[in-house]
Amino acid sequence: MGGVSATDSMVLGGLFGTAPMRAVFSDEQRVQAMLDVEAALARAEAATGVIPKEAAPAIAAACRADLYDLADLGRRTAPAGNPAIPLVKMLTDKVPGDAKKYVHWGATSQDIIDTGLMLQVRAGLDVLLPEVAAVADAAAKLADAHRKTPMAGRTFLQHALPIPFGYKAAVWLGLAARAHSRLAGIRRNGLALQFGGAAGTLASLGGDGTKVADALARELSLPLPDMPWHSARDRIADIAAAVAIAAGSMGKIATDIALLMQTEVAEAMEPTGEGKGGSSAMPHKRNPVGATLAIAAAAQAEARLPLLVASLRQEHERGVGMWHAEWGAIAELFLLTAGAVNHVRIALEGLTVDAARMRANLEATNGLIFSEAVTMALATTFGREAAHQKVEHAVKAAVAAKRHLREVLAEDKAIADALGKDGLARAFDPMSQIGASDEFISRALGSWKKSRNQ
């Protein structure tokens, strides 16, 4: 019996995670990662002459997760307090002959667990990065395609002034591109070998400690830190922050999609699919299921971050509890973030954009959305403050009389003179009100093109 958590439930898990990320942080992979570290340790120690040459292949041969009974390992983990203690015992039992003596040589549980985690994190980033890139690609495509699709820009959930939909998509692109770059930075510089022995000093290896550490880092292709970090957890917090911010960025895009899909707005729609977005009670609904699940996954992912920052406060050379609290939190964070990214990717790649409805909504307020444009056009003549007041006055008149703002303005002689007929028309043409959007979109596309392939 299992499936308690949002991430592992057979019933709910598909809502919030993805299969490839689930594989990276599965029990099998958790154990395999620890065994990979043991095997690499043996190789590194053999290569540096710390243990006999022939011990390494004998140990490595037993470092396959499929040789272990995970349920049994679990039963032995509970009293031991961590999985490395029983795993090392089980591994030692499997290694034949003299090599048995050299299993886990000089290492401590935390070396194996932390370094194993780093291997999983690396694999997790390798799963996440192309998915985030795909979100950026999809947003980039929308940004480029909709440079000239005017819609209402909305601030405080109110019509503000016209923007091209491509501008909004470029904001999404920026979020995804920076999430990608942040995660890629962690992939390059944020990982670190953990290898310090019982109290971090590698005392168990006498004078050979750094030599083995160097070799082990090379074996695993992990950056070698200046020293162990058993109770210095800022790297974990860095990783968690980068992933949680990626999740939160997906939450923002998903929120926009859900808002755009509102019955009264209806400007963009997630792709629909067999059995997707329906309602058990209301046959007509087209629920923003993907956006909803992305928001749910992102919120759950973010909720792991404070724990992983609080875990900085660990006691002395190894803490009482907060290290253990990291294990699940990191894995859950990655899986939930993968879920959020996946839902947003699907939504953006299949987004139906209803340009006609965007245009219709722009017109729905009798020209009020163009009031900033009018204000700025008048400001050269009257100054910003006076222009603002004049337009505010006209807006009130237009609303009261349910007339189009353009008509009301045209009847005010001072305004009409200041603008001229063309000026008035221009102020009410959305595509002449998009300012620097095109340049902004180009810059965002250009940056993504550059950073994508770094």
| Residues identified as active-site | 279, 318
Distance CA 194, CA 192 (A): 6
Backbone conformation region of residue 16, classed left if phi is above 0, alpha if psi is from -120 to 50, else beta = alpha
CB 343 to a copy of itself: min, Å: 10
Specify whether the CB–CB gap between 83 and 34 falls below 8 A. Answer: yes
Residue 147 Cβ, how far from a copy of itself at the closest point, in Å? Answer: 12
Task: Please name the residues in contact with 45: beta carbons below 8 A apart, sequence gap of 6 or more.
Answer: 51, 55, 56, 102, 105, 106, 212, 215
Tell the residue number behind the tokens 């337009």, with chain if given: 391
Least Cβ distance, residue 220 to a copy of itself (angstroms):
18
Nearest approach, Cβ of 335 to a copy of itself (angstroms)? 5
CB of 447 to a copy of itself, least distance (A): 5
Q: Can you say whether residue 224 is alpha, beta or left, with left for phi > 0 and alpha for psi between -120 and 50 degrees?
A: beta
Torsion sign across C-alpha atoms 258, 264, 266, 270: positive
Q: Which is nearer to a copy of itself, 275 or 421 (CB)?
A: 275
Rounded to an integer, what distance in angstroms lies between the CA atom of residue 401 and that of residue 333?
54
Minimum distance, C-beta of residue 308 to a copy of itself, in the bound complex (Å): 9
Residue 381 neighbours by CB under 8 Å, 6+ apart:
387, 418
The pair of structure tokens assigned to 332 is 């859950």
DSSP state of 190: I
Task: For residue 332, give the nearest of 25, 119, 12, 81 by alpha carbon.
Answer: 25
Is residue 67 helix, strand or coil? helix
How near is the Cβ of 174 to a copy of itself at its closest, in Å? 6
| CA atoms lying within 13 Å on the CB side of residue 314 | 23
Beta strands 268-269 and 352-353: pairing type? antiparallel
CA dist., res. 363 & res. 402, Å (int): 13
Q: Which is nearer to a copy of itself, 15 or 61 (CB)?
A: 15
The rounded distance, in Å, linking the Cα atoms of 281 and 252 is: 29
Residue 57 or 81: the one with the smaller Cβ distance to a copy of itself is: 81
Which residue is it, tokens 């091209």? 164
Q: Give the Cα separation of 99 and 92 in Å (integer).
A: 9
Q: Which amino acid, residue 218?
A: R
Q: What is the DSSP letter of 221?
A: T
Please compute, for residue 288, the number of CA atoms within 13 A of its CA located in the half-sphere on the CB side.
Answer: 26
Q: Report in angstroms how near the CB of residue 320 gets to a copy of itself at its nearest.
A: 5
Q: What is the dihedral of CA 255, 256, 259, 265, to 10 degrees?
A: -170
How many angstroms separate the CA atoms of 161 and 431, rounded?
11
Which of 220, 293 has the CB closer to a copy of itself? Answer: 293
Nearer to a copy of itself, 134 or 319 (CB): 319
